[in-house]
Chains A and B, each alone.
Chain A
């Protein structure tokens, strides 16, 4: 597609529920990133995919968070047993290549998650 597409744009759930957030990157971009942006904060890195594999998942806060990219294109961020502290905007970004400081990331509009 023309840009990075994220769905849903808004998700309200109850504490303890399971949530999936989807990212459709720019066609041909091999690198895909998930970031989390809390209110009044800058984006914080969660995980980076190069192709189908997670090349760096050091930003995932705990084992309730998991992400997949089975065919090297669309990615899904999965959050189990959601907590109120998980409320944030989850941003997805893609770039033509990964693993280089010269990358230019293109971000989607984000999925706003609210955990009640």
Chain B
């Protein structure tokens, strides 16, 4: 079992839909949880950053962390064609030196 599991999709939704992206993990030492967005042939860019359990909202994006279930989610409201990209979850422990990434979920939003 990999430390971080993420369904690669692809996920196709119409413009305006609510999108839910998820990751599960096995290492209980993870405390920092991130979502990166990666456009084709570009490097990953940080979208959301959460410490420990709870919710964080930024515009149309909401990140949720449930440490008891080892489950994290990213919700995108009112999805736009410009949201079409691969979304990578990533996490690290307090003393960790390297982010551990999920496989990424490819999202396509059609207009």
Name A's B-contacting residues (CB within 8 A): 4, 33, 35, 40-45, 48, 55-56, 59, 91, 93, 98-110, 112
Contact = CB atoms under 8 A, between A and B. Distances in A.
Contact of B98 (A33, A41, A108, A112): A33
B6 to A, nearest CB: 7
Contacts of B4: 42
A110 B42 CA distance: 7
A4 B43 contact: yes
Contacts of B88: 42-43
Contact of A42 (B6, B32, B45, B46): B6
30 contacts: A4-B43, A40-B8, A40-B103, A41-B104, A42-B6, A42-B88, A42-B101, A43-B88, A43-B101, A45-B100, A48-B97, A48-B98, A55-B97, A59-B98, A91-B43, A98-B97, A99-B95, A100-B94, A101-B93, A101-B94, A101-B96, A102-B32, A104-B49, A105-B99, A106-B46, A108-B43, A109-B41, A109-B43, A110-B42, A112-B41
Size class of B's contact patch?
20 to 34
A110 B94 contact: no
B44 A56 contact: no
Interface centre among B6, B36, B42, B43 (most CB of A within 10 A): B43
Given A56-B97, A98-B97, A100-B94, 10 more contacts: A40-B8, A40-B103, A43-B88, A45-B98, A48-B98, A101-B32, A101-B95, A108-B43, A109-B43, A110-B42
B96 A42 contact: no
